[in-house]
């Protein structure tokens, strides 16, 4: 299977590393924001084709699918462009930064019948998979999720500390992970949600602090705190409080309530959430089925984000 990887930033390289661990899949084309950056990455990693124009890669007849790790504001248009060109597509989270664009992506997927997946990595992290399996087996029921998403980003930089060409967003990107995961883990749609945000940054124009409270019909709660002002350990940290235990998930690692590590051996073929996400995408293409985290499955999360945004004062 030959893949086009669009985006040469930090997350694009995470996907490239993941794909290198998956048999039968090759990155055959890479798209960069600028041709020189695309060429540099292509030559460093032995990728035979590079371009600064996505349509050039889409015109290659041997390209089967595209992974989009481009700026958020480009996701919707590019995902639709890929499907219109007959290519399966995985669009990194968030699939769009409006509900309307998200619905357009889902409509295009239904029309074309291609595999279209959103990069909701939390569904694939072994830590969250372990909890999910325990819930599915009837051994654990969520009473509350307490989630902290903290970064220190008062300037426009990416995960590698390099300048970004676009502006990240606490709601449409970082909250999206938790909103989707809460619904996925409980197996319910959110019935109540309330959000508040702090003042916008003078230069970036986005809120730097935000809090969201959610509830599902069974009564389970989720409290999400987000900040770009946190000068300390960065990332997202999940506390699952349940009927018979407490678990702390930190990306691919899981601990109990006393911070003792839980052995995740055997949960999945890898301990890398990005690799597992990519494996699901490729497997769904090969098997002609809907993937876990299809754009249709992730649409309810986008509806909640839209509801929160419309409720901001």
Average pLDDT in the 184-192 region? 98
Average pLDDT in the 277-292 region? 98
pLDDT at 159: 57
Average pLDDT in the 276-301 region? 98
Grouping H, G, I as helix, E, B as strand and the rest as coil, residue 131 is: helix
In angstroms, the CA 282 to CA 261 distance is 31
In angstroms, the CA 261 to CA 258 distance is 9
Res. 41: pLDDT tops 80: yes
pLDDT at 300: 98
In angstroms, the CA 174 to CA 227 distance is 10
Q: Are 66 and 4 in contact (CB under 8 A)?
A: yes
Res. 206: pLDDT tops 90: no
Q: What is the pLDDT of residues 78-111, one digit of tens each?
A: 999 999 999 999 999 999 999 999 999 999 999 9
116 pLDDT tier (thresholds 50, 70, 90): very high
Closest CA to 26 of 45, 56, 3: 3
pLDDT at 10: 87
Q: 């389970």: which residue's tokens?
A: 220
Cβ atoms < 10 Å from Cβ of 22: 18
Domain residue ranges in the chain: 2-120+274-291, 125-267
Q: What is the pLDDT of residues 24-39, one digit of tens each?
A: 999 999 999 999 999 9
> What angle (nearest 5°) sits at the alpha carbon of residue 106, between those of residues 102 and 112?
140
In angstroms, the CA 189 to CA 2 distance is 36
Q: What is the pLDDT of residues 231-241, one digit of tens each?
A: 988 889 999 99
pLDDT at 168: 80
Same CATH topology for 2-120+274-291 and 125-267: the answer is no
Q: Are 193 and 214 in contact (CB under 8 A)?
A: yes
Contacts of 6 (CB under 8 A, 6+ apart): 12, 30, 31, 54, 57, 66, 67, 68, 69, 70, 78
Report the DSSP beta bridge partners of residue 149. 226, 236
303 pLDDT tier (thresholds 50, 70, 90): very high
Share of the chain above pLDDT 70, in %: 96
CATH of domain 2-120+274-291: 3.40.50.720
153 pLDDT tier (thresholds 50, 70, 90): confident
281 pLDDT tier (thresholds 50, 70, 90): very high
Instruction: Please state, rounded to an integer, the average pLDDT across all residues of the chain.
Output: 94
Res. 46: pLDDT tops 80: yes
Q: Are 66 and 82 in contact (CB under 8 A)?
A: yes
The pTM is what? Answer: 0.94
pLDDT at 161: 61
156 pLDDT tier (thresholds 50, 70, 90): low
Res. 142: pLDDT tops 60: yes
In angstroms, the CA 91 to CA 89 distance is 6
* Superfamily name with CATH number, domain 125-267: Dihydrodipicolinate Reductase; domain 2 (3.30.360.10)
167 pLDDT tier (thresholds 50, 70, 90): low
């Amino acid at each position: 299977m030959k893949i086009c990887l669009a985006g040469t930033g930090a997350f694009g390289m995470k996907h490239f590393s993941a794909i290198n661990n998956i048999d039968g899949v090759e990155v055959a084309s890479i798209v960069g924001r600028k041709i020189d950056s695309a060429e540099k990455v292509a030559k460093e990693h032995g990728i035979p084709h590079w371009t600064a124009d996505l349509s050039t890669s889409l015109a290659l007849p041997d390209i089967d699918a595209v992974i989009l790790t481009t700026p958020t504001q480009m996701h919707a248009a590019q995902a639709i462009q890929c499907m219109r060109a007959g290519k399966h597509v995985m669009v990194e989270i968030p699939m769009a930064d409006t509900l309307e664009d998200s619905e357009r992506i889902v409509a295009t997927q239904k029309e074309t019948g291609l595999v279209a997946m959103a990069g909701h990595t939390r569904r694939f992290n072994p830590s969250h998979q372990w909890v999910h399996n325990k819930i599915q087996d009837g051994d654990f029921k969520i009473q509350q999720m307490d989630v902290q998403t903290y970064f220190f980003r008062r300037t426009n930089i990416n995960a590698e500390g390099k300048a970004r060409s676009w502006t990240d967003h606490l709601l449409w990107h970082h909250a999206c992970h938790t909103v989707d995961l809460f619904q996925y883990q409980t197996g319910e749609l959110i019935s109540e949600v309330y959000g508040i945000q702090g003042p916008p940054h003078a230069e970036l124009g986005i809120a730097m602090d935000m809090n969201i409270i959610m509830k599902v019909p069974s009564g389970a709660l989720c409290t999400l705190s987000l900040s770009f002002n946190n000068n300390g350990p960065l990332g997202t940290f999940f506390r699952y409080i349940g009927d018979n235990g407490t678990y702390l998930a930190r990306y691919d690692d899981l601990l109990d309530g006393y911070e003792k590590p839980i052995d995740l051996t055997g949960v999945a073929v890898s301990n890398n959430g990005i690799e597992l996400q990519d494996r699901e995408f490729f497997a769904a293409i090969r098997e002609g089925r809907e993937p876990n985290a299809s754009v249709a499955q992730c649409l309810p999360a986008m509806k909640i984000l839209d509801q929160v945004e419309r409720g901001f004062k």
